[in-house]
C-alpha cells in the first residue's frame, strides 16, 4: 500500500518534507538499528559525538554544493579546495601568523578558487564537470606542493574550533556545521537568490528571459561553494591538528557529491533541499561508522559509498524523467 493511498484512507496528511525524505529516513533507521544490535557501542554518547564530528566537514561542503547543484552546476574540486586551504592555514600558522588570521586567509583562498571555477564555467562556457575536475587535479598537486608532501602541525592553534564544545556538550564543529546548513536552507527557501538558483536549474534560458541575472548568480554560487570548501578545510586542520598529504582530496569530494545526490538534489538542477542533503551526509557517516564498528575492511567503505551513489543517481534520473513526462 502506498503512502498516498494510506493517507487517503485514514485521512492523515503527512508533512511534505517528511514524505519527501521518508525513504531516506527509513534506510537510516534500519542501518542504525542493525548496527546497534550487532555493536552495542554504536548508541553510546561517545560514538554518536564522534560520528557528528566526522560528518561536520562533509555537511558544510555539501550545503554549498546543494545550492550550486540546484542551479544546475556541479563542483568536483571541493575536496581539493579543502586540502589546499588546510595546507595554507598550516603553513601560515607555522610561519608565525595568528591562527584566526590564517583561518580567514584560508576561507578567502577557497572563495577565490570558487570564483575562478565560476568564471571558467560562466564566461568561457566550459562544462562544469570538465572544468572542476581539471581544477581538482591541479589543486591536488598544489596542496602537496604547499606542504612539501609532509605533515605540517598547527600546534594548539584553532583548538577551540577543533576540540571546543558549546554548552559543555555539543562540539563546536557540529554547531558551526549546523549554522551553515541552517543558513543555506534559509537562503534556498526564503531569498530571491535562492529562488533564482531554482529557476536557473529548472530552465536557464527561461530564467534569462525572465530577467534573472544568470551569469552573476552562477558566479556567486561557485564562489560561495568554494568559500564553504575553504571553511571545511579550516575545520579539517583544526580537528586533525595538522595538514597532511591525506587531508581532503578525492575521497572527500566523492562523499560530498554522494551525500547531495542521495539527499535528493536533482543532477540536472531545479530541485533539492538542505534537509535531504543533511540526511544524506548522516547516512554516509553512519554507514562508515557501522562498517568500522563491525570491523569490516576499510576498502568496503569506498564500495558502499560508490554503490549508494550509483543507486541514488539512477533514482535521481528516473525521478527527473518521470517529472518531465508529467509535464
- pLDDT tens digits, one per residue of 125-143: 999 999 999 999 999 999 9
> Is 250 in a helix, a strand, or coil?
helix
Is the pLDDT confidence value at 35 over 70?
A: yes
Is the pLDDT confidence value at 8 over 50?
A: no
**E strands of the chain, at which residues?**
152-153, 165-166, 170-171, 242-243
- pLDDT score, position 315: 73
Q: Residue 166 carries which DSSP code?
A: E
Return the half-sphere exposure (C-beta side, CA atoms, 13 A cut-off) of residue 10. Answer: 9
Average per-residue pLDDT for the chain: 88
Place of cell 564500495: 303
Cell numbers placing 10: 485514514
Angle at 251 between CA 249 and CA 252, to 5 degrees: 70
Strand bridging mode 242-243 / 152-153: antiparallel
Residue pLDDT, tens place only, 283-317: 999 998 998 898 887 777 778 777 877 877 787 67
Residue 171, φ and ψ in degrees, nearest 5: -60, 140
Distance in angstroms (rounded) separating the CA atoms of residues 146 and 19? 47
Q: Residue 44 carries which DSSP code?
A: S
Average pLDDT of span 47-71: 95
Is the pLDDT confidence value at 4 over 70?
A: no
Please report, to the nearest 10 degrees, the dihedral formed by the alpha carbons of residues 22, 4, 271, 259 taken in order.
20
Angle at 231 between CA 310 and CA 299, to 5 degrees: 35
Residue pLDDT, tens place only, 161-202: 999 988 878 999 999 999 999 999 999 999 999 999 999 999
> Is 88 in a helix, a strand, or coil?
helix
Could you tell me which CATH number the domain at 55-326 has? 1.10.3470
Return the percentage of the chain with pLDDT > 70, whole number: 91
pLDDT band at 107 (very low <50, low <70, confident <90, very high): very high
Residue pLDDT, tens place only, 235-281: 999 999 999 998 887 789 889 999 999 998 988 888 889 999 999 99
Distance in angstroms (rounded) separating the CA atoms of residues 60 and 176? 8
255 by Cβ neighbours in 10 Å (0-12 / 13-18 / 19+) ranks as buried
Cell numbers placing 289: 561508522
Name residue 166's beta-bridge partners. Answer: 170
Distance in angstroms (rounded) separating the CA atoms of residues 316 and 313? 5
Amino acid at each position: 500500500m502506498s503512502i498516498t493511498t494510506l493517507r487517503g484512507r485514514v485521512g492523515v496528511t503527512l508533512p511534505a518534507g517528511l514524505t519527501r525524505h521518508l525513504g531516506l529516513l527509513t534506510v537510516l533507521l534500519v542501518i542504525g538499528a542493525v548496527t546497534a544490535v550487532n555493536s552495542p557501542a554504536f548508541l553510546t554518547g561517545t560514538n554518536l559525538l564522534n560520528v557528528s564530528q566526522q560528518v561536520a566537514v562533509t555537511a558544510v561542503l555539501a550545503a554549498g554544493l546543494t545550492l550550486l547543484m540546484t542551479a544546475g552546476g556541479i563542483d568536483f574540486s571541493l575536496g581539493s579546495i579543502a586540502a589546499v586551504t588546510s595546507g595554507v592555514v598550516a603553513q601560515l600558522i607555522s610561519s608565525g601568523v595568528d591562527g584566526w588570521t590564517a583561518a580567514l586567509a584560508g576561507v578567502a583562498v577557497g572563495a577565490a578558487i570558487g570564483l575562478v571555477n565560476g568564471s571558467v564555467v560562466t564566461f568561457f562556457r566550459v562544462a562544469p564537470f570538465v572544468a572542476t575536475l581539471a581544477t581538482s587535479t591541479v589543486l591536488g598537486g598544489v596542496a602537496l606542493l604547499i606542504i612539501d608532501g609532509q605533515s605540517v602541525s598547527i600546534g594548539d592553534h584553532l583548538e577551540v574550533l577543533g576540540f571546543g564544545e558549546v554548552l559543555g556538550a555539543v562540539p563546536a564543529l557540529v554547531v558551526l556545521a549546523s549554522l551553515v546548513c541552517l543558513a543555506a536552507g534559509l537562503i534556498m527557501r526564503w531569498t530571491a537568490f535562492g529562488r533564482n538558483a531554482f529557476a536557473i536549474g529548472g530552465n536557464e534560458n527561461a530564467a534569462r528571459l525572465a530577467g534573472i541575472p544568470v551569469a552573476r548568480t552562477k558566479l556567486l554560487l561557485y564562489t560561495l561553494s568554494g568559500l564553504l570548501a575553504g571553511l571545511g578545510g579550516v575545520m579539517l586542520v583544526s580537528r586533525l591538528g595538522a595538514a597532511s598529504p591525506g587531508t581532503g582530496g578525492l575521497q572527500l569530494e566523492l562523499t560530498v557529491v554522494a551525500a547531495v545526490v542521495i539527499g535528493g538534489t536533482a543532477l540536472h538542477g531545479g530541485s533539492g533541499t538542505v534537509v535531504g542533503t543533511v540526511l544524506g551526509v548522516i547516512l554516509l557517516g553512519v554507514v562508515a561508522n557501522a562498517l568500522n564498528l563491525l570491523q569490516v575492511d576499510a576498502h568496503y567503505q569506498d564500495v558502499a559509498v560508490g554503490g549508494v551513489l550509483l543507486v541514488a543517481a539512477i533514482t535521481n534520473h528516473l525521478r527527473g524523467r518521470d517529472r518531465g513526462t508529467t509535464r
